[in-house]
Structure 1
Amino acid sequence: MAIRPALTLATTFTKAADGKPATYGLELTNQSDTTVSDFTLCFIAPTRVDLEATFDNATLKRRSSNFVEIAPPDGFVLEPGGRWKTATASLGRDLQHWSDGANAAYLAFADGSTVPIESVPTTLTGDNAPLKRGTEPFPVPGPGKAPAPISVVPWPNLVAIESIGDTPAGLAVQATGEAAKAASVFADLAQSLFPADGLIRPVAEGGLPVSLATDAGQKPEAYRIAFAADHVTVHAGGHAGWLYGLVTLGQILRGARRHPLTFGFPTSGEITDAPAFGWRGSHLDVSRQFYSTAEVQQFLKIMAWNKLNRFHWHLTDDEGWRVEIDAYPELTDIGAWRGHGLPLPPLFGTGAARNGGYYTKEAIRQTVSLAETLAIDVVPEIDVPGHSFAAIVALPWLSDPDETGAYYFHDNFPNACLNPAYEPVYEFVEKMFGELLELFPSKTFHVGADEVPEGAWEGSPLARAMNEKIGGVGPEKLQAAFLRRVQAFLTQNGRITGAWEEAALGGGIDKAHAYLVGWKSVEVSAELAGEGYDIVMAPGQRYYLDMANGAQWSEPGASWAGWSGPEETYTFEPGEGWTEAQREHLWGVQACIWSEHLTDRAIFDRLVFPRLSAIAETGWTAKDKKSWERFKSMAGLLPNLYGYWSE
């Protein structure tokens, strides 16, 4: 077997200065004893070069979204120990953070073979700060310095603790009937998140007796905990309330056990609690990065520990189709995989090898069932009509055969939108949605509707004729007509249509059977609420968890919406300054985890935690009960997903 040459790609970003443009430099080094020739260099980076980019000392051969292929000068040979340097100023956006640069690379040869390359994190000229990964470990205050005597996130509505005593070794939950299910779910949750802590223990091992009592007058997610020296009782109206009460007890116990001189366990008094908002969610983009069923299910458990109750599962996008559809197996046979020579090229941290995956129907059923036990409603999203490149590549007959020309969204993939004037599209959507409705019992079904670009469908005779008929100019009325037809199908099947805020364009969809996720700005969300749309707040400036934690180059993440550290995320108040009429349409809050920059799991842990918990507290805790200092003192006790912590 041939030995692979040892190759390294180092990349550098230099800011514009002294009349010179910003440049992105690449340096390929051959550290082997093998000569390399007749190759092209393929690299992948979140920051795109222009469609017709020019390179010094290289020629652009192909650019497909975030995938770039360049060739050295004719006859170039990379000798052992040799280097090949090239650079470009043709950037769609300046790099702001180290994760903006190339995160995967390989060499490709005419015979179809490839050789992997080690891609070194991009450096900023003049900046040598250590690059950051992993969750920032907020320190727990020392003895007597904590802002609260117990550790709970989100903070409850009313904490009336009368005394603190000895901390029990664990909790011995005693329950029968319907309450027994909540006790079992909590035991599994605690064991999964903190396997060595032994939060659940029998009385024989020092467990404090905990009973679950039924209080029919409580709202579904509310609970009350009554503390006594030798016993604790959780009062709730049903499963969600009992589970949340037990989570609160588990957090109190864990804080007191781990930091006994800072936090304690109550021996008298009570906690009375209920959420501020009914919608407390997190979105997860599994198209740009694929997360296994095990990862998704563990993430659901972390959501439950934070009392989040909506999981917005972003199952499709341009870069990957992630859900099994029996009627159209090509969607996953083709659209779920990326790699060299495949219809979808390598993207977002993946190299030449075939990479990706999808969720079988059985995996989805298991995940939805788990979520239900955790008091989480799973809201599926199939993103249409835009962001449909993976679907169209898999099913090319979805495109109008007479369409000409190309249109792009932010120089992404060409012609990536389902055509509202092409009838086969509706047969596809209704058949595909029909299968999904059987998998997802949620009353809400999200249809995307974001980021259809100007120029969409202008090359389609069918679309031009439809637009002329409905009096449209550009894509907005066409999209609105498409969405109203799709919404009618969902409404007939008893579902509320969810969409991103662009679904209000062109006349919008039926407000009575819809909600919108507001993401561009607080002002747009307020305006839409004033028009009568029900709104879930997810402003990119604060609740998009792919945005970096800070402005520094050393922080990973995206930057188009700015940056938002944990404190900025925590202190943001949804609906602030809204009228009472607008606030009546504010359903709640939602974190959005977009995955373009989450190219390794340590970056995921840094960007998502503890900001996910900060949003959870805003969704649960009344505004006048929030405290950044208190939250910060407890954030270090919260779990992250992969166990990566910043040093």
Structure 2
Amino acid sequence: MKKIKVLAAMGAVMAILLSCSPSGNGEIVPANYEVIPLPSEIVTSEGDPFILSRSVKIIIPEGNEKMRRNAEFLAEFLEISTGIKPGISTGTQENGAIVLATGLQHPNAEAYEMRVDGKSITITGASEAAVFYGIQTLRKSIPADGGQVIFQPVTIKDEPRFSHRGMMLDVARHFQPAEFVKRYIDILALHNLNRFHWHLTDDQGWRIEIKAYPKLTEVGSQRKHTVIGRNSGEFDGKPHGGFYTQDEIREIVQYARERYITVIPEIDLPGHMLSALAAYPELGCTGGPYEVEATWGVFDDVLCPGKEETFTFLERVLSEVIDLFPSEYIHIGGDECPKVRWEKCPHCQARIRELKLKDSNGHTAEHYLQSYVTARIEKFLNEKGRRIIGWDEILEGELAPNATVMSWRGMEGGIQAAQMGHDVIMTPTAYCYFDYYQTQYTDEEPLAIGGYVPIEKVYSFEPAPGILTEEQKAHILGVQANLWTEYIETAEHVDYMVMPRIAALAEVQWVEPEKREYEAFLTRLPRLVGLYDKLGYNYAKHIFDVQANMTPSFETNSLEVELSTIDQAPIYYTLDGSAPTASSTRYDGRISIRENVELRAVAIRENGHNSRILSEQIKASKSSYKPVSLLTTADPTYRFTGEGMLVDGLYGSNTNYKSGKWIGFGGKEVVAVIDMLEPTEITTAEIRNCVVTGDWIFDASEIILEASSDNERFTEVKRQQLVDTNSTHWSDIAVHTLSFDPVTARYYRVTVKPTVMPAWHPGKGRKAYLFIDEIALN
């Protein structure tokens, strides 16, 4: 890929630019074609540049309304970026024009070519949608900070990797008005996304007008209040509600269509239906009464598939949905549907007997009852010319014959569905849940559901794993990220959680894996962020913060700290907890830490856009930075940097067990051996467990410390039994200190045993997860 060269004839160009500059300041800025998502091929060449002047026109084919709308978009984009709004005309190509055309012969309908020379810019697409993506590339190539733009001669050939490039917005938990939804669609269009998954119904609110069932919005769209925080038991006392009229929905669908985005509605069934049951209690197993839910979670009351009127309801609702949304797909949810009501409901049990459903293959008859619901709704929608998408729970029981699976609980559901010959959209929580925190340092963050999905994690996602054959990979239609809004109330908060992670998502969706490189992506990202600023988007700025890579070294027996910034801004740090300034020590390579310190670091920039202060408390013990071996295997999802985490002196500050500070083990005991390198006397051992029982993570049941001089024969030093007396869910950091008479040894073996989940817990009888951040011997 050639780099843009400074033109030899800049003096002559300068004279022209001064005569046509909208600002009159004469500043010349070159376009940069290395945008996000990165085009497939960029080849620059020698020659005169194209100069964007006030006389420029956009030329389109006559009689093509989609191309006229494309031209109007481009004119608007150029006016925002440069102050120049070109006129639009039809006809033949002229000098000094931007030409938009279809007719590119390419198997990918979204492929385009852009050619620039001194006379014109031409964007030719395999479809009008393809031209729109070329327009986005042109738009994003223009520097956001103004000036007179010149376009170096170039040929760009580009096409997306995946046909389904999606983003979901949940408006059921917190409603957003129609104008915001349009703005959200604009954000998707900026990043070349083409699917908007609109989550319209859930336990906490029904957001779509259904004329056959007016109580869905009269009753189901309103909740009397909302829980404060994470199901604290306290409520805000404020009614919350709202819904979209059918006219508003048609307007939003058309708005998206003009931007080549298909809106996929979701009506979640048969679970997550309390808002519907509150309006029509006869559709439930117990008959109610029900309320629109004010807390978050999964609830036992769901639709009753034993009653025929339930299917009448669903078919009438979906008939109106079909009339509003022309998309091929209708999303029917299918996730998190408890079966406890069905197990006792005479109607459901009669339906099970009628269908001759039995427990088999690890699934109950009630699981197969949900499969019946899914298959029946699929048949109804197929007869209307539509197809269904469901969350990966629809794999439980029997998968409906034509269903597309949206894999969210990990990659496994998507892999299984692809191997069965079903189409798949990958959206696993570990990479694609934008309601998760995007930084480890959550104390100053707006409240989020938990988890940890930083931008680099999103960028690292590979949706078509190597375990699949090429034929099976063809079933991976694409990638989607999800924004659930339990803790996201405002438009500004939505922006903050989406951007800039959506930029990383865009490259995963558009760019072939061999052409993706995170460091190069970071060099391109600030230019896109400049456009966010110009458009007034409230994006997260963690990318400009100091990034710290902290690794225990068993060779130097220290914590090796590497600091960096996206733009190589100078970094200043302190080790005593004081606030760093330009007078503090300037970072010049690597920091080695062997003792207790509070590291604080800041990037100081000439433009005054200094980073937030990075703060990390490091607590060294006698076992810190000593070689450690794990004799049991951590869960691959929660292994992070591995066994060194147990002796790195870094502690989890909260119960966000996905932050990278806790190492997780699934249902097995943890056995670790620490080599102190020489005989070392200790009198205490401290082990910390992260506990989130709602996620099946419990405290330890027993901790055993043993000592050895040769790493072969161990003698027990201390054994401590632990009993969890709680009878409801709890979440905290459990700290256990084993104290004993002085013992001296070179090797210490620590065994931490998991808890068997109690009878009150949904996982009763199973061994719980264990999460540990540090083993401190002193």
Per the normalisation by structure 1, the TM-score is 0.69
Preserved contact between residue 409 and residue 451 of structure 1 (Cα < 8 Å): no
> Which residue is equivalent to 1:14?
none
2:522: which partner in 1?
632
Aligned residue-pair number: 490
Where structure 2 has 5 or more consecutive residues not aligned to the other structure, the ranges are 1-29, 90-94, 542-608, 610-778
Contact 1:404–1:460 (Cα < 8 Å) also in 2: no
SS of structure 1 residue aligned to 2:520: helix
Is residue 279 from structure 1 mapped to residue 164 from structure 2 by the alignment?
yes
Deviation at 1:203, TM superposition (A): 10
**1:470 corresponds to which of 339, 350, 357:** 357
Aligned partner of 1:487 in structure 2 is 378
Matches within 5 A, 1:470-619: 470-472=357-359, 473=364, 475-510=366-401, 513-554=402-443, 555-556=445-446, 558=448, 562-580=451-469, 581-619=471-509
One of 67, 88, 112 as aligned partner of 1:182: 67
Maintained 8 Å contact 1:193/1:301:
no
Tell me, yes or no, if structure 1 residue 333 matches structure 2 residue 218.
yes
- 1:215 maps to 103
The answer as to whether partners of 1:297 and 1:370 remain within 8 angstroms in 2 is: yes
Shift in CA distance, 520/557, structure 1 to aligned 2, threshold 3 Å: farther
Quickly say closer, same or farther: Cα 1:222–1:467, change in 2 above 3 A: same
| Per-residue deviation, 1:571 | 1.7
- Partner of 1:457, secondary structure, is helix
Task: Pick closer, same or farther for the CA change 1:167–1:494 going to 2, 3 Å.
Answer: same
Aligned to 1:159: 42
Q: Residue 386 and residue 604 in structure 1: after superposition, are their counterparts in 2 closer, same or farther (change >3 A)?
A: same
Give distance in 2, aligned partners of 1:546 and 1:411.
14
CA distance in 1, matches of 2:307, 2:481: 35
Counterparts of residues 17-416 of structure 1 (less than 5 Å): 149-163=32-46, 165=49, 168=52, 172-177=57-62, 179=64, 181-185=66-70, 187-188=72-73, 191=76, 195=80, 197-198=82-83, 200-202=85-87, 208-218=96-106, 219-254=108-143, 258=146, 265-340=150-225, 351-401=236-286, 412=297, 414-416=299-301
Bigger relative contact order, structure 1 or 2 (CA pairs below 8 A, ≥6 apart): 1
| 1:644 paired to 2:538 | yes
Partner of 1:311, secondary structure, is: strand
CA positional deviation for 1:167:
5.5
Q: Which moved more, 1:592-601 or 1:632-641?
A: 632-641
User: Deviations for 1:580-625, whole angstroms, at most 9, x for unmatched residues?
Assistant: 2321211110111111121333332221101112111111111112
1:629 is aligned with what amino acid?
Answer: E
Gap change, CA 1:414 and 1:525, over 3 Å in 2: closer
Distance 1:151 1:184, change over 3 A: same
Q: Return the alpha-carbon distance in structure 2 between the equivalents of residues 193 and 302 of structure 1.
A: 17
Deviations 1:190-247 (A, max 9, x none): 737984643643499xx95101123251332111011111211111132101111111
Closer, same or farther in 2 for the Cα pair 1:151/1:456, shift >3 Å? farther
Contact persistence 2:223–2:241 (CA under 8 A):
yes
C-alpha distance in 2 between matches for 1:352 and 1:410: 13
Structure 2 SS opposite 1:470 = coil
The percentage of aligned residue pairs carrying the same residue is 31
Task: Say if 1:225 and 1:270, in contact at 8 Å, map to a contact too.
Answer: yes
What's the RMSD between the two structures over aligned residues? 3.3
* Alpha-carbon separation, structure 1, partners of 2:343 and 2:176: 36
- Report if the CA contact (8 A) 2:168-2:197 is conserved: yes
- 1:558 positional shift: 3.9
Aligned counterparts of 1:416 and 1:308: Cα–Cα separation in 2 = 36
Distance 1:557 1:635 in 2: 25
Q: What amino acid sits opposite 2:33 in the alignment?
A: I
Distance 2:223 2:523 in 1: 43
Q: What is the SS of the residue equivalent to 2:400?
A: coil
Change (3 A) 1:377 1:193: farther
Rounded to whole Å, the distance in 1 between the matches of 2:88 and 2:251 is: 33
Measured in 2, the distance between the counterparts of 1:324 and 1:434 equals 12
Alpha-carbon separation, structure 2, partners of 1:352 and 1:197:
48
Give the partner amino acid of 1:327.
A
Between the aligned partners of 1:402 and 1:610, the Cα distance in structure 2 is 46
Give the secondary structure class of the aligned counterpart of 1:458. helix
- Classify the secondary structure of the residue corresponding to 1:281: strand
TM-score by length of 2: 0.58
Contact 1:179 1:239 in 2 (8 A): no
**Counterparts in 2 of 1:452 and 1:533: CA distance versus 1, 3 Å:** same
Higher-Rg member (1/2): 2
CA contact (8 A) 2:167 2:193 kept: yes
Unmatched runs of 5 consecutive residues or more in structure 1: 1-145
In the TM superposition, residue 628 of structure 1 has moved relative to its aligned partner by 1.8
> Do the aligned partners of residues 347 and 436 (structure 1) sit closer, same or farther apart at CA in structure 2, a change above 3 Å counting?
farther
User: What does residue 445 of structure 1 align with?
Assistant: 330
Structure 2 contact 281–290 (Cα < 8 Å) conserved: no
Deviation at 1:271, TM superposition (A): 0.3
- SS of the residue corresponding to residue 397 of structure 2 reads helix
Given the superposition, is the C-alpha separation of residues 323 and 351 from structure 1 closer, same or farther in structure 2, using an over 3 Å criterion? same
Q: Counterparts of 2:88 and 2:377 in 1: how far apart (Å)?
A: 56
Supply the AA of the counterpart residue of 1:499.
Answer: G
Cα distance, 1:362–1:350 mapped onto 2, change above 3 Å:
farther
Give the secondary-structure state (helix, strand or coil) at the position aligned to 1:568: helix
Relative distance call for 1:287 and 1:234 in structure 2 (3 A) is same
The 8 Å contact of residues 602 and 642 in structure 1, kept in 2 or not, is answered as no
Query: Counterpart amino acid of 2:432?
Result: Y
Q: Compared with structure 1, are the counterparts of its residues 265 and 182 closer, same or farther at alpha carbon in structure 2 (3 Å cutoff)?
A: same
Match of residue 708 from structure 2:
none
Tell me, yes or no, if the aligned pair for 1:384 and 1:449 is still in contact at 8 Å: yes
Contact 2:58–2:71 (8 Å) recurs in 1: no
Q: Aligned equivalents of 2:300 and 2:165: distance in 1? A: 35
Distance 1:360 1:253, change over 3 A: same
User: Corresponding residue for 1:134?
Assistant: none
Structure 1 residue 368, shift from structure 2 partner? 0.8
* Distance of 2:41 and 2:314 partners within structure 1: 47
The letter for the 2-side match of 1:209 is A
Mean Cα displacement is larger for which, 163-172 or 413-422? 163-172
Higher alpha-carbon deviation: 587-596 or 189-198? 189-198
Rounded Cα–Cα distance in structure 1 between residues aligned with 2:204 and 2:347:
27
